[in-house]
């Protein structure tokens, strides 16, 4: 499938059936910690990047094919999902086809937009990010499109939270030497107190970030988090479980996953070991794709990760 993937294991959502209505790395942010690489289509224009009818057809097919195999339908993927103009229609159709809750994972940049608010209002969970505390830190960390200001971002969170009847969770990505001091975290908390989310998720870059100088904070930060946030959800652990695959075509399946989700090597082995592949064959196939410059591997936090090679033409 082109627009729907999984179900995939999620640290927060159990088994998630992902819907990706945006082309790879089409976003209005260029976050320093992004796991997918550099934004190659930096835009804040909302439009139907892919034919809506094709996406709807895949959603219906995937839900029928994976009935009772997933816990959430999640709009997320390789770009910012709220840039898809008819996102509302996709969400409504997904809810018509399944009783499972719908979650939208977003950078939150467009929550001030009335059309986007209207699109997300029928979802069950909206999960934006807040990593900064003022305009300067916002620009440094998220590197937003020039048309997006920090004040509009925060006001959008506040306004949407007031009218949204579902669950509103906010994720905070913490990075060493960037936003992990007590003073900085207190400033982030001040903004969160204005927004009043239902839940605060604390995350760290557990997958290789786009900027190599981005690092995981020291463990000493735990005492600061406990003091400042008290009631928060720690999601700093790897996903556990296999990714769903639909054929024995290793290249097709692994590239489809890596386009949206870098994977640890051990998780790739776990996913494909039940599909006529032993560990040696899987490693051999990965090395073959690497030699063809389709994927790259990297050692991060003492683990081997594989991801799509977005710069293959330059290599």
For residues 11 and 17, the answer to whether their CB atoms sit within 8 Å is no
Overall average pLDDT of the 219-239 stretch: 80
Helix or strand holding residue 175 (H, E)? none
Question: What percent of the chain has pLDDT above 70?
Answer: 95
* pLDDT the model gives residue 75: 96
For residues 66 and 28, the answer to whether their CB atoms sit within 8 Å is no
User: Do 170 and 223 belong to one domain?
Assistant: yes
For residues 70 and 100, the answer to whether their CB atoms sit within 8 Å is yes
Whole-angstrom distance, CA of residue 18 vs CA of residue 30: 22
Residue 237 has pLDDT above 80, yes or no: no
Residue 315 has pLDDT above 60, yes or no: no
Residue 208 lies in a domain: yes
Residue 285 has pLDDT above 60, yes or no: yes
Residue 56 lies in a domain: yes
Residue 137 has pLDDT above 60, yes or no: yes
Number of domain units in the chain: 2
| pLDDT tens digits, 43-65 | 999 999 999 999 999 999 999 98
Residue 313 has pLDDT above 60, yes or no: no
Residue 174 has pLDDT above 90, yes or no: yes
Give residue 142's pLDDT band: very low, low, confident or very high (50, 70, 90): very high
Q: Residue 158 half-sphere exposure, CB side, CA atoms within 13 Å?
A: 11
* pLDDT the model gives residue 94: 96
Q: Given 234, 259, 290, which residue is the final one in a domain?
A: 234
Overall average pLDDT of the 164-190 stretch: 95
User: Do 229 and 258 belong to one domain?
Assistant: no
How many Å from the N-terminal Cα to the C-terminal Cα in the chain? 28
* pLDDT the model gives residue 278: 81
User: Do 119 and 264 belong to one domain?
Assistant: no
Cα–Cα nearest to 170, from 182, 183, 157:
157
Helix, strand, coil fractions of the chain, as percent rounded to 5: 35, 20, 45
Domain range for 267: 250-308
pTM of the model as a whole: 0.85
Helix or strand holding residue 267 (H, E)? helix 265-272
Question: What percent of the chain has pLDDT above 90?
Answer: 57
User: Do 196 and 277 belong to one domain?
Assistant: no
User: Do 212 and 272 belong to one domain?
Assistant: no
Domain at 38, CATH number = 3.20.20.70
Give residue 275's pLDDT band: very low, low, confident or very high (50, 70, 90): low
DSSP β-ladder status, 125-127 and 167-173: parallel
User: Do 188 and 258 belong to one domain?
Assistant: no
Cα–Cα distances in angstroms (integers) from residue 121 to residues 84, 203, 257, in the given order: 15, 25, 29
* pLDDT the model gives residue 193: 95
- The more confidently predicted of residues 235 and 9 is 9
Mean pLDDT of the chain: 89
| Most confident of the ranges 74-88, 225-239, 255-269, 281-295 | 74-88
* pLDDT the model gives residue 298: 85
Q: Given 204, 234, 264, which residue is the final one in a domain?
A: 234
Residue 97 lies in a domain: yes
- The more confidently predicted of residues 237 and 235 is 235
Domain at 254, CATH number = 1.10.10.10
Q: Given 171, 204, 234, which residue is the final one in a domain?
A: 234
* pLDDT the model gives residue 220: 86
Residue 20 lies in a domain: yes
Residue 170 has pLDDT above 70, yes or no: yes
Residue 226 lies in a domain: yes
């Amino acid at each position: 499938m082109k627009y729907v993937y999984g179900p995939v294991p999620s640290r927060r959502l159990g088994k998630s059936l992902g819907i990706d209505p945006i082309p790879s790395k089409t976003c209005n942010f260029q976050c320093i910690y992004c796991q997918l690489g550099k934004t190659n289509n930096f835009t804040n224009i909302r439009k139907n990047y892919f034919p809506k009818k094709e996406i709807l057809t895949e959603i219906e097919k995937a839900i029928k094919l994976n009935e009772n195999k997933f816990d959430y339908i999640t709009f997320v993927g390789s770009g910012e999902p709220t840039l898809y103009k008819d996102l509302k229609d996709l969400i409504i159709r997904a809810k018509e086809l399944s009783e499972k809750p719908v979650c939208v994972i977003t950078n939150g940049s467009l929550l001030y937009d009335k059309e986007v608010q209207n699109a997300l209002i029928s979802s069950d969970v909206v999960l934006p990010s807040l990593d900064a505390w003022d305009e300067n830190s916002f620009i440094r960390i998220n590197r937003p499109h020039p048309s997006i200001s920090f004040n509009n971002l925060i006001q959008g969170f506040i306004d949407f939270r007031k009218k949204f009847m579902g669950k509103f969770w906010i994720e905070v990505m913490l990075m060493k030497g960037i936003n992990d001091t007590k003073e900085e975290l207190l400033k982030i908390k001040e903004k969160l107190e204005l927004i009043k989310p239902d839940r605060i998720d604390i995350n760290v870059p557990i997958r290789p970030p786009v900027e190599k100088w981005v690092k995981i904070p020291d463990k000493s930060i735990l005492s600061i988090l406990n003091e400042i946030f008290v009631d928060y959800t720690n999601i700093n652990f790897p996903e556990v479980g296999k990714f769903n695959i639909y054929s024995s075509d290793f290249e097709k399946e692994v590239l489809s996953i890596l386009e949206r989700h870098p994977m640890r090597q051990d998780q790739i082995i776990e996913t494909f070991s039940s599909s006529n592949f032993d560990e040696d064959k899987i490693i051999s196939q990965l090395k073959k794709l690497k030699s063809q410059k389709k994927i790259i591997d990297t050692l991060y936090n003492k683990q081997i990760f594989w991801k799509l090679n977005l710069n293959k033409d330059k290599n």
